[in-house]
Structure 1
Amino acid sequence: MRWDAKRRLPLRPCVSSNGHRSRSRRRAPFLITMLKAIAQDLHAVFERDPAATSRLEVVLTYAGFHALLAYRLAHWLKEHQVPFLPRAISQLARWLTGIEIHPSAKIGCGFFIDHGMGVVIGETAEVGDHVTLFQGVTLGGTGKERGKRHPTLGNHVVVGAGAKILGGITIGDNVKIGANSVVLKSVPPNSTVIGVPGRIIKSQGERLPDATMDHTNMPDPTADRFAALEMELIELRKQLENQDSNRSR
């Protein structure tokens, strides 16, 4: 069992209610599997949210946790080909929490939605283990094509507030996506992405933290480029001034 470096809490082995990326291949009874998945989702809140003070508070007041409860049930019903009811549960959860998760989406264990309002997860989206989404995140499609049209997120991915990940692309393990980024192309593991459209500013570096996103220290390549252009202009002005002074002599 591994330990979270920040909160010193163990990262539990994954036993997902839908079997996605699960380390256990044995089929447990529905109730036991569901309870294990819910326990992992609850545990994830305390791993990644310092504001969480008690299990009762999380169970009663965390919209992201409520949305996951509804999703786990709706997904199980969808997998067993129950008509209408999965979508009804999904829409009820959307109305109550502001979070829309399609019952056909595949979500691994230890999933955490922070604040959550405005989060949308599409029908063919796949989410790995120990993933964190902030408010306003969209895992959406880019058109009316059929088949795999929503993104696949690896393990330990962190997606900042307002980010949009669109299309049937793949986001590798340990990727961090900055707030309000729009990601339209696949991203390799151990990368950091920011901007519109999303640009990779760090790739194949050392492993990123499991569930932290330091928004205040994210690099800004556009500002860096403007600073470089300003320095070039200063150098050119100095050269022109030197040429004028030499001519005046």
Structure 2
Amino acid sequence: MRLALGRTEFCFEKITSPGYTKDGEAYFSHLHSDQYSQFLYFLSHSLWNRSENKPICDKLIFLNKMMNGMFYSYKVELPNIFLFGHPVGSVLGKAKYADFLVVFQNVTINTAVDDAGSPAPVLGKGLFLGAGAMILGNKTVGDRVSVGAGAAVYNAEIPDDHLVFRDRTGELRIQHRTKGECTAQQFFNVPIG
């Protein structure tokens, strides 16, 4: 429990969203469902790494699914610094995740990983996933990438500093970011780099 709380504090002290800090210190409330979902990940993952106590870890994941409608495995290595922003309906599959991940509602990361050892996607630092965003397949998504609401990346490499979005006609667009900082940066108080 102490390890999970320490990991939670380390993560939360870097988040700029209201309610994650109080008087300059990391703040955790079990009544804040986004925070609690993150804590349940840290707790289940920490327990799995220390004891591989599958029954307890499964119960923690089921609790999160019941309370938040979100699924991730305690075996998945989520980054040390990430934010779940109203992640109802999100499914985070096996992938190589990096710090400064932002996940909103109905996000899907569903990979080609199977027991035969197919590769998982590599997701870069500062990845922002808007409502309904999907990453399917096993290709690399670069650093400081934003996948907008309803946009799907299907088995495609996305270079660093790019936006993936649907335009007004519904066409999928991939273009270089023109703003100075990536979308994920607004959620963290340390530079993504």
TM-score of the two chains, using structure 2 as the length reference: 0.77
Contact persistence 1:90–1:102 (CA under 8 A): yes
Contact persistence 1:190–1:206 (CA under 8 A): no
Aligned residue pairs, count: 179
Using the alignment, how far apart are the partners of 1:96 and 1:82 within structure 2? 21
More strand by share: 2
Contact persistence 1:139–1:150 (CA under 8 A): no
* Greater radius of gyration (CA): 1
How do 1:208-219 and structure 2 match up within 5 A?
Answer: 208-212=182-186
Alignment partner of 1:88 out of 59, 81, 84: 59
CA pair 141-209 structure 1, distance change in 2 beyond 3 A = closer
Using the alignment, how far apart are the partners of 2:101 and 2:179 within structure 1? 19
Pair 1:36 & 2:10 matched: no
The unaligned stretches of length 5 or more in structure 2 are 188-193
Alignment partner of 1:106 out of 56, 65, 77: 77
The one-letter code matched in structure 2 to 1:79 is N
Contact persistence 2:101–2:126 (CA under 8 A): yes
Deviations 1:166-222 (A, max 9, x none): 122221111111110011112111111113785311169854244349xxxxxxxxx
The unaligned stretches of length 5 or more in structure 1 are 1-29, 214-249
Q: Which has the higher contact order (CA 8 A, sep 6+)?
A: 2
The one-letter code matched in structure 1 to 2:98 is G
Pair 1:202 & 2:176 matched: yes
Using the alignment, how far apart are the partners of 1:200 and 1:58 within structure 2? 37
| Percent of paired sites with the same residue | 23
CA pair 42-212 structure 1, distance change in 2 beyond 3 A = closer
The one-letter code matched in structure 2 to 1:208 is C
Q: CA deviation at 1:145?
A: 6.6
More helix by share: 1
The one-letter code matched in structure 1 to 2:153 is V
Using the alignment, how far apart are the partners of 1:142 and 1:41 within structure 2? 29
Alignment partner of 1:72 out of 19, 22, 42: 42
Deviations 1:128-181 (A, max 9, x none): 112111111111135867435653322111111111111222211111111100
CA pair 169-182 structure 1, distance change in 2 beyond 3 A = same
Using the alignment, how far apart are the partners of 2:145 and 2:66 within structure 1? 30
